[in-house]
């Protein structure tokens, strides 16, 4: 391999928006989105768990769809909009309604799974504003919790759905 090829492979120029803020920098092509968020941008609300795409602790939104950031190359979010749990709250730092529902219904204990659970819930309620328990459980299959036994999480999702229905809000 020529020297120029080695140099080209060492960096990639990434342009994207994270929580509404522009990011424009050289990154290593093999960097994961999780590393970009936690190590470069210090957005540590996105948690590092299994690193194999199974636990959901690292879930974030990219252009409105949830993904596991540990198995997503940072370079793949070129010109896309990334939202982390820090960006889900309102501009005045008020909690997102789903975050509020999880707090009110005790949807977490240690909180390690919470960011991912919240993102999966936001996506579920965008698609199914009044989900059945089966739809809730199916939506959460990509998110593991070692503390709660899931009952309080399902209750939190139900509470978020009820609040959303009551407010007539059917958007994210």
Report the interface residues with ligand FES, using CB under 6 A: 48-51, 53-58, 68, 70, 108-113, 145-148
CB of 9 to ligand FES, least distance (A): 25
CB of 152 to ligand FES, least distance (A): 9
Task: Reduce the DSSP state of residue 11 to 3 states and report it.
Answer: coil
| Closer to ligand FES by Cβ: residue 6 or 156 | 156
| Closer to ligand FES by Cβ: residue 49 or 131 | 49
| Closer to ligand FES by Cβ: residue 41 or 50 | 50
CB of 144 to ligand FES, least distance (A): 7
Task: Reduce the DSSP state of residue 59 to 3 states and report it.
Answer: strand
CB of 49 to ligand FES, least distance (A): 4
| Closer to ligand FES by Cβ: residue 75 or 114 | 114
User: DSSP string spanning 117-136?
Assistant: HHHHHHHHHHH-SS--HHHH
Q: Within 13 A of 168's CA, how many CA atoms are on the CB side?
A: 0
Q: Where are the alpha helices (DSSP H) in the chain?
A: 3-10, 33-35, 85-88, 97-104, 114-127, 133-139, 151-167
């Amino acid at each position: 391999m020529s020297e120029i090829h080695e140099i080209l492979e060492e960096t990639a120029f990434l342009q994207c928006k994270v929580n509404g803020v522009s990011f424009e920098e050289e990154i290593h092509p093999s960097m994961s989105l999780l590393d970009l968020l936690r190590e470069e941008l210090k957005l540590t609300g996105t948690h590092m768990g299994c690193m194999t795409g199974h636990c959901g602790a690292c879930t974030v939104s990219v252009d409105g769809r949830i993904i596991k950031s540990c198995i997503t190359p940072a370079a793949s979010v070129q010109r896309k909009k990334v939202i982390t749990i820090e960006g889900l709250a309102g501009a005045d730092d008020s909690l997102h309604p789903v975050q509020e529902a999880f707090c009110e219904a005790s949807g977490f204990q240690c909180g390690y799974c919470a960011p991912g659970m919240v993102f999966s819930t936001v996506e579920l309620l965008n698609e199914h504003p009044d989900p059945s328990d089966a739809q809730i459980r199916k939506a959460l299959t990509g998110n593991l919790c070692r503390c709660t036994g899931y009952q309080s999480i399902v209750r939190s999702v139900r509470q978020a759905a009820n609040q959303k229905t009551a407010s007539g809000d059917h958007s994210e």
